[in-house]
Structure 1
């Protein structure tokens, strides 16, 4: 199978529908995975920020969700395996979960935490540094809707619990990758509002208006992040570490760590359990196993 065909199949697997309309959003973004992977793999020294963390204030107790941090750590670890630099970026409410994810799988990757109070001063400094990065990657990171407010899939304004990291995401001329599953994440502004409105419940209300250079749509954002690592492994077969990151067991270990040690919650069920977006591990792991299989078959 040709490289382009394998990566296109990875893109399709990542977009496996889970009942939110993700498969419909994935159609016009086809080719985004190849573009993102080529941009990273072809860069002599990628230097990236990976933005993540989606807080669920109505969970019991409130915490960041399990979708996003796993894939973000996976992508950051892949960048380092390629000889590049990476740091994760989140905000205060999501920091415990992202910290636990890094401790479990990539303790060498630095974490930058944006404060909710005093954000402007912090962002002024960070934006200057981020403007020099080669890549800015957002994975399941909520962004502003048409009225400027970040909204969850229920249409609820979660701005009181969310730092506006879109300011950093749009800094400079770095290649921007958006990874999402529901239309309200950074990067989804690449899709027309009417399309998101047709494909997703409350789509026009929640759609993030911030676009990107390459959009990756998954049934869960973690799947799309895994597909990006898979595409990098296909393009760079000389880096065996990339394939190690694709083992479903790798994801399970991180999922376990963030739930047990930091109280990460399933964003759909709003409870701390070993699931992602309403999917128990066996169902959630199926696309991960398929991604790993496709990469293994690619040679």
Structure 2
């Protein structure tokens, strides 16, 4: 099966309309890749066109059967928990796929499960969640891998993957394998179209980038870079921004699905952020504290790209 063998959405008609949509999607990708100090703009250069490719792969099918992997555990936080970047975008994508009529489920591991479950409850109630245990993982994987091997799409949103030495590493170069299940096995389980979403080089899908680029741009990049690639890679200043850009691209390709635009409201993201922090103790991955921020960005700064993404889609 060709992982890229998906038709363009039938709702995009006419050369002028097609070109306009492509221009806006390219701008969405640029907005999502806004620099936050970790080299996202440089890392995004080799992925030009991947946002449109990813959106077409999802919107160009009658329905998809997808899984979204997320959850990045911060063991050194004041109260260890999953970080705020990742689950918001993952649930936003799940809600978008459900609005398109697709089947979708989320997957994470036990340390990140409380935060991901809280995100689902706030943003996409009823979406199934698969939780990988750290102890007894092999039996769990044997049970679920056949299901994942039949999926049309697997999306990883801010999910750490194996570095060159096979170990999952955070941005500080620390091995967090004791707190991380190897969900890269689900990502690679079958012929599904794989979409990677990340911001630091150490997430699933970042193996699509040249190793020398990650080493040059990212602090400790040669040590932490994930070696697992994908068919379409979305690089954001935060991973949540890149996920929002994908929802925005889907809204452009499928304008009849009005619910997609509602998901782009910054207020939607704020409500999910508040829920995961207040109900599950999600932490800012940079500050390593439970607060209403993402990757060191307080809400006003964090919301700026979200607002711009919503504006671009609304003006189309």
Whether 2:219 is the aligned partner of 1:201: answer yes
Q: Aligned residue for 1:66? A: 84
Alignment of 1:1-299 (within 5 A): 2-298=20-316
Moved runs in structure 1, 4+ residues, more than 3 A?
none
- Deviation readout 1:72-130 (Å, 9 max, x if unpaired): 00000000000001001000000000010011111121111000001011111211110
The Cα RMSD (Å) is 0.6
- Aligned partners of 1:73, 1:192: CA distance in 2, in Å? 29
- Aligned partners of 2:180, 2:47: CA distance in 1, in Å? 26
Q: How many pairs are equivalent?
A: 298
What is the TM-score with the length of structure 2 in the denominator?
Answer: 0.94
- Aligned partners of 1:5, 1:249: CA distance in 2, in Å? 26
Q: How far does residue 44 in structure 1 lie from its aligned partner after superposition?
A: 1.4
Q: How far does residue 43 in structure 1 lie from its aligned partner after superposition?
A: 1.1
- Aligned partners of 1:279, 1:27: CA distance in 2, in Å? 23
Structure 1 residue runs of 5 or longer lacking an equivalent are none
- Aligned partners of 1:231, 1:193: CA distance in 2, in Å? 28
What is the TM-score with the length of structure 1 in the denominator?
Answer: 0.99
